[in-house]
Chains A and B, each alone.
Chain A
């Protein structure tokens, strides 16, 4: 094989090496991009290290809401969101969208009508919010806007093989100025 042919054969691997090494030495350690994303080929060597939990404040009471920071995927949205990468700009945009969003208060009895999912007793004991959608509109519940939205970013830390903990590493909060 001549040099031109060998160069063409190496082409995809060179691209992979550049992006992979950029991930290993810059994107992950400096920018906090998860090993699962960003072209670093690092899946299954650690977990999704970060999660976001969104609290919505209405009438001086914070309630947990279903949400996701994963904009292109609704598949994994739930009471927390796996986050492979977050910047202040992404978080600000997300919180602003939550501020503009309308919520509906769902009672325990209503929940059972609309969802077959299993909910834990802890959450069944309190009222909480679900993003408004066609199913919930049918419930005739009052539509509410948030006074403020608080997002907690939690990072998982391996303490040893048998021990681990969540650490609250960032809090983002915006109030509704209307």
Chain B
């Protein structure tokens, strides 16, 4: 690979440029798509988004702006606005981006050299990957309905949260006799609820019954624990340089596995890939870029399908 290209993607400016782009992406999702019913209305939210897009273009023209503390104060203000304007319903990712921007503000208030700053970013990204996986693992381990396979089983066989899983279910599980009628059945149950039910009334949901699906669900639960646990242990404790490839291969497996199934939350995937890339050597950084491109392409192809299916299932109710 071209040496000049490698030098560019290993630079502090390149990492900061990715972070700036992800701030815009986050804003796009939070302020435009979620907030405005995908309409270009002139609101405070959309105006702020437009302003931050213009500023990001300027940052790309005058790259020295990436090294300015003002830039990161601006991005922190923007991500904080995204977070606060959605409370109490803001997604977990918005919290994470406030932490990342706050970290960069703090970093650019120091007088460390560029190389020192990059080293701190590398260490911070490693710790952050470990912390995210530690919390995510803890959440799963203390949720009995995840550990016994209920979550995956009912996700695949029902329509409660089918907008994420329906395409997966349709692609792979119809062969096992799972029909669209079964996926619909939960929404039909909800449609049958009547206004005069009393408190603590219960409605049993018809769920497709399959031993094979149950085994697949249990396998997926434990696979998730293994791969997230693997990322946590490797990024936390694998200090040998010659074994660093294990960190990256495990994170790639997580990224490709997870965001192929749930492309709609591609921005999480891009965030993980950016953190992983920061920790990678010159040899591995290009593979992170390729993974990011894969996640984006997957999102562009499958996220609209997923959204359409979600609306389809909603429409049935």
Give A contacts to B, CB under 8 Å.
1, 4-6, 8-13, 15-17, 19-21, 24, 33, 35-48, 51, 53, 55, 57, 62, 64, 70-76, 78-80, 84-85, 117-120, 122-123, 150, 152, 154, 156-158, 160-171
Contact = CB atoms under 8 A, between A and B. Distances in A.
Interface string B180-218: 000000001111111111111111110101000010011
Q: Chain A CB within 10 Å — which of B107, B120, B130 has the most?
A: B120
B190 A53 contact: yes
Contacts of A38: 88, 90, 92
Q: Chain A CB within 10 Å — which of B91, B130, B139 has the most?
A: B139
B304 interface: no
Contacts of A53: 190, 193
The 6 closest A-B pairs by CB, nearest first: A42-B139, A39-B95, A62-B195, A12-B99, A158-B145, A55-B195
B188 A120 contact: yes
Contacts of B146: 45-46
Given A42-B140, A73-B35, 7 more contacts: A45-B143, A75-B37, A78-B315, A120-B317, A164-B205, A166-B193, A166-B205
A5 B120 contact: yes
A129 B143 CA distance: 38
A85 B92 CA distance: 13
B149 A16 contact: no
Interface in B249-298: 262, 265
Interface string B134-160: 011011101101101111011100101
A131 to B, nearest CB: 13
A32 B60 CA distance: 43
Interface in B73-129: 85-86, 88-92, 95-96, 98-100, 102-103, 106-107, 110, 112, 116, 119-120, 123-124, 127-128
13 contacts: A11-B99, A24-B139, A24-B142, A37-B91, A38-B88, A38-B90, A46-B151, A64-B191, A72-B89, A118-B312, A122-B192, A160-B148, A166-B189
A58 to B, nearest CB: 12
Contact of A163 (B195, B198, B204): B204
B33 interface: yes
A120 B191 CA distance: 9
B143 A46 contact: yes
B226 interface: no
Contacts of A154: 190, 193
A164 to B, nearest CB: 5
B124 A13 contact: yes
Contacts, number: 224
B161 interface: yes
Contacts of A64: 191
Contacts of A39: 92, 95
B131 interface: yes
Nearest to A62: B195
A56 B128 CA distance: 47
A160 B103 contact: no
B38 interface: yes
A73 B85 CA distance: 11
A150 B138 CA distance: 38
B132 to A, nearest CB: 6
B317 A79 contact: yes
A62 B62 CA distance: 61
A11 B103 contact: yes
Contacts of A46: 143, 145-146, 151
Nearest to B97: A12
A161 B136 CA distance: 21
Given A72-B86, A75-B38, A161 B149 contact: yes
A44 B262 contact: yes
A70 B90 CA distance: 10
B122 to A, nearest CB: 8
B279 to A, nearest CB: 12
B47 interface: no
